Amino acid sequence: MASTKNCPNYPPPDYNVPRFPSLCWPPHACAIYTVQDSWRFTLIWTLILFIGFHLGATAISLLMQVGKPRSIWKYLFAVPVVYTVVAGVEALVVGSIVGSV
pLDDT digits (tens, 9 = 90+) for 13-70: 777 777 776 766 666 667 777 888 888 888 888 889 999 999 999 999 889 888 888 8
30 DSSP 8-state letter: -
* Domain locations along the chain: 33-100
Taking residues 71-79, what's their average pLDDT?
83
Alpha carbon distance 56, 76 (integer Å): 15
Alpha carbon distance 33, 35 (integer Å): 7
